[in-house]
Amino acid sequence: MSDAIAIRDWGRCDYARVWAAMKAFTDERDTDTADELWRVEHPAVFTLGQAGRAEHVLDRGDTPLVQTDRGGQVTYHGPGQIVLYPLIDLRRQRIGARELVTRLEQSVVDWLARQGIDSAPRADAPGVYVDGAKIAALGLRIRRGCSYHGLAVNIAMDLAPFNRINPCGHAGMAVTDLATLGVDCTVAQAREGLTRAVVARLSPV
C-alpha cells in the first residue's frame, strides 16, 4: 500500500462526532484523495455494531450507547484506550477487507511483541488476544470501496465497563490492557508505537 498515509490527531473526542467525520470523509473522497490514519481517545461509550444485539449490553448504566454502522457486536471505548481509524482506499490498493483486517491485527501483534507480550488473533472473534484475554478490538465498514472505523487497543484504562457487556458478543470474555500485563508504557508512547506498526503494515513489502 502507499506509504503516503496522513496522520490526523483528534485528541479526546466524542465518538459520534468522529464517526460523522469519517462518513463524510469517505463520501467526499475521490480516487486522488490520500489515505489517512486518525488517532483518538473517546470518552466512555458503548458502541453496537451492525450485527449487534441489545441483549449483549448487560448493564448500560449511565454510559451512552451508540448504534453504529461498523461490523461486529458491542464494545466499549474509554480513556486510556488508543483508537486508530484507517481511512483506506481498498480498490486503489487492490486489497480486500479481510486482508486489511489481517494487517491491522498483525500490526498490534508486532507492537505487543516489542513490549515483550506474546499475542495472537482469533479466527472466531476479530481482534488480538493475550492468553485468551482481549486486548484489541477491531470493526470496519467498507463504503464506496474505502474503509472507516478500525482498531481499539487497551493501554491503561478502567476495564470494569467491559464486565457490563458481552464483549464482541461473547459472554464472559476476559479483557485486559497493557498496564494489567505489567508493561510500563504511557498512552502517548503507545499511540506513537502503534502508529508506526500500523503504517508499516499498510506500506509496501
In this structure, what C-alpha cell is assigned to residue 131?
492468553
Burial of 14 (0-12, 13-18, 19+ CB in 10 A): middle
Average of per-residue pLDDT across 94-121: 96
Whether 3 shows a pLDDT value over 80: the answer reads no
**What is d(CA 177, CA 30) in angstroms, rounded to the nearest whole number?**
37
Q: What is the pLDDT of residues 63-102, one digit of tens each?
A: 999 999 998 889 999 999 999 999 999 999 889 999 999 9
Torsion of CA 36, 113, 158, 48, to 10 degrees: 50
Q: Which residues are catalytic?
A: 168
What is the total count of domains within the chain?
A: 1
Q: Identify whether 120 is part of a domain.
A: yes
Task: Please check whether residue 150 is in contact with residue 142, taking contact to mean a CB–CB distance below 8 angstroms.
Answer: no
- State the DSSP code for 154: E
Q: Please give the radius of gyration of the chain, using alpha carbons only, rounded to the nearest integer.
A: 16
In a domain, 51, yes or no: yes
pTM beyond 0.75: the answer is yes
Residue 150 assigned ligand-binding role? yes
Q: What is the rounded CA–CA span in Å between residue 4 and residue 129? A: 30
User: Is 138 a known ligand-binding residue?
Assistant: yes
DSSP string covering 47-98, please? EE-TT--GGGBS--TTS-EEE-SSSSSEEEE-TTEEEEEEE-BHHHHT--HH
Average pLDDT over residues 127-141: 96
DSSP conformation letters of 138-151: EEEEEETTEEEEEE
With respect to residue 134, please indicate whether it lies within any of the assigned structural domains.
Answer: yes
| Containing structural domain, residue 100 | 6-201
Mean pLDDT of 105-115: 97
Task: Give the pLDDT confidence of 19-47 residue by residue, as tens digits.
Answer: 999 999 999 999 999 999 999 999 999 99
In a domain, 144, yes or no: yes
User: Would residue 77 count as lying in a domain?
Assistant: yes
The answer to whether 75 is a known ligand-binding residue is yes
What would the grid cell of residue 134 be?
A: 482481549
- What CATH code is carried by the domain that includes residue 137? 3.30.930.10
1 found inside a domain: no
pLDDT tier for residue 204 given thresholds of 50, 70 and 90: low
56 annotated to a ligand binding site? no
**2: confidence class by pLDDT, cuts 50, 70, 90:** very low
Give the three cell numbers for residue 177. 490492557
For residue 93, is it within any domain?
yes
In-domain check, residue 83: yes
